Amino acid sequence: MADELNNNITDSTPATESTTVENKTVEPASEFKAPTEDEFNKAIQSASSKAKFAILQELGVKSVDEFKQLKATYETSIKDAGEIRSKLETSEKEKKALTEDLATVKLGISDEYKEDFLTLVHSKVSDSKTFDEAAKEVLSKNPTWQLNGNAIKLGVEKSETKIDSSEEARRKNILRMAGL
């Protein structure tokens, strides 16, 4: 059996010649040639360009420069939106503070009790109870927090309640800022 194997090996024809195996002609395989460095670099660059084009197309832009412009515009918009949000939050806080000051002026709350009054009112405000309703409730339980027990009457030429000059100036300033 070993002789048969040796005979088969020596009887084989080289791969460069055509051979017929079971009535089929088999051409010799061409030799593998490694690509040159230039061919390799061109193939890599071509694949890279195709991938870059596919990504740009997916992003909806035609060039890298257009993408950079869109990115810069987007970043500017995000920054501007943050600044606007910050200004809005500040304005809302100022509006809330002015509204609260106006409420304390309308109800005639003394400066001495203003913080306590607002703390209690805030604790009573809920979805079912507005700031004004809570303020009236707190004031009904603490009527001594009003100046001389009476609120300033708005729309009347002069208030019937006597107030000291600093309190009067504060109230006028708040009413002026509120546009009343």
32 burial via Cβ count (<10 Å: 0-12, 13-18, 19+): exposed
Q: What is the pTM of this model?
A: 0.47
The 10s digit of each residue's pLDDT in 121-151 is 989 888 898 888 888 888 888 888 887 644 4
Q: Does pLDDT of 177 surpass 80?
A: no
Domain positions in the chain: 66-178
- The amino acid at residue 123 is S
Contact 31, 15 (CB under 8 A): no
Tell me if 115 sits within 8 A of 154, measured CB to CB. no
Residue 22 in tokens? 């079971």
CA distance 116 to 126: 18
